[in-house]
Chain A
């Protein structure tokens, strides 16, 4: 089983190197993240056209091996080595490594047991492994019980592929979350390692290793929820968008669109993120062709999923949009929603003093225009998240207490990266 698990992740890395070689030469980790989304989406397509899940489908990235490695002039990871590391670099690197290992121990110490992790995502994954499809009676029969049957299938398909390759096991399946965490940290490290002020970069990475991912009641790494995977795609989309704003490279816009598509295939909140990016692209007066390209990349990969969605029974759905006509009397809840939101982001048990620190950073160092655009994306997304609480049928305070921290978690890695860039920009070119 260990061999198969190693093969599974090596095949994902092979796919990442393939994407790196042909599409995103500037970033190995972005390539791995984009490939991960593409891998799961392609498996979805295969099952959607009626192919059963089998060993060839799960291991198809190995086919890319002969295309990925021959002809590579520089190693994909050679850019990750810091130049002339000093004593502080070694100390901070050791701290990061220690916390990464402790994090893995924390994640892997128990099998999945959280209600949503087991009852929603892993139940679907197990069903896919047993039925070898998501078009079985287990998914389509409205009398069959599925919790939230219309939730997107990225995580069940990813977990299911891993379990199909290895075994149905609630402990080892957590390795998929370790892989996603590895990609998040790698993305941040890779993006910062080329900038000046290495100690500062490493400090930011140390920040990313430590908070929230362990301590959150719901949604953190060990729970098996979809919030960490979606934060990987938000981070990837944000970085690619940053590259697009800086260089105008269309391939980065394509990548950002794809990352949005994958985030929407992970959780429905991904649509809000995509819409926020679209609003910012419109307000920054990008060319119509760029808008169309982004929209196409964000929407087209998910069309098969949207078509499949209507075959799945709509149990336990909360139709927020139907409550829009009731919006006016509900506006009185805005102060309560804002109060709960503020109380969450200053909850030091969840976040330390991360959010006040972020606020201080953006007050003292005036952000560049690119960072401002990305901040706008985050703010619009969070505003959209908060807006949904206006329509909830639940008690607002209760629902925010169990869900809002997870929503903040979606944007936290991207926010940390913006913080780091803003800080480094401020050191190089003080503006306040």
Chain B
């Protein structure tokens, strides 16, 4: 009985190692390659064009200017939440279409930009956004 148990344990370790070895090999290689990178270069490596584009946008937006977003389709949400993280301390608001023309509201919230998401990324535009059939 004890032999069976040891056999199962050894089998489990071998199966795990079979899948794990390439992952750890790759991780160690990546770690050694990126250990001297700056944080910015490392982020760009991971997020690619998305991060670089976003960083370029953020550089030009003062920290007290906010953005408005039309609630994104679920499929594009990935960009959106990640963008939300980097956009801080600037803030992103989700407003219903009906409030987009309300200047007192957008002035009060210091909303200066509108943000559009697309399957291949995102882009900012100066507020107010032009009506776009894609957003309906």
Contacts and interface: CB of A to CB of B under 8 A. Distances in A.
B9 interface: yes
A354 B94 CA distance: 45
Nearest to B33: A109
Contacts of B82: 113, 115, 118-119
Interface string A333-376: 00000000000000011001110110011001000000000000
Contacts of B27: 102, 105-106, 109
B1 interface: yes
B88 A214 contact: no
A105 B16 contact: no
Interface residues on B, range: 35 or more
A364 B1 contact: yes
B126 interface: no
A207 B39 CA distance: 34
A353 B11 contact: yes
Interface string A126-154: 11001000000110010111010000000
A120 interface: yes
Contacts of A360: 4-5, 8
Contacts of B78: 115, 119
Contacts of B95: 143
Contact of A357 (B9, B42, B47, B77): B9
A417 interface: no
A108 B15 CA distance: 25
Interface string B13-43: 1011101100110011011001000010011
A102 B24 contact: yes
A94 to B, nearest CB: 14
Contacts of A210: 13, 16-17, 20
Contact of A171 (B11, B12, B39, B94): B39
A301 interface: no
A110 interface: yes
B16 A171 contact: no
A119 B28 contact: no
A203 interface: yes
B5 to A, nearest CB: 6
B4 A364 contact: yes
Contacts of A207: 9, 12-13
A333 B92 CA distance: 40
A118 B43 CA distance: 13
A52 interface: no
B97 to A, nearest CB: 13
Top 9 A-B pairs ranked by shortest CB distance? A119-B81, A352-B16, A106-B27, A109-B31, A352-B15, A357-B8, A123-B85, A352-B12, A211-B16
Interface of A: 102, 105-106, 108-111, 113, 115, 118-120, 122-123, 126-127, 130, 137-138, 141, 143-145, 147, 169-171, 203, 206-207, 210-211, 214-215, 348-349, 352-354, 356-357, 360-361, 364, 423, 426-427, 430, 432
24 contacts: A102-B24, A102-B28, A105-B24, A105-B28, A106-B24, A106-B28, A109-B34, A110-B34, A113-B82, A115-B78, A118-B81, A119-B78, A119-B84, A126-B88, A130-B89, A170-B39, A171-B39, A207-B12, A210-B16, A211-B16, A211-B20, A354-B16, A357-B8, A423-B5
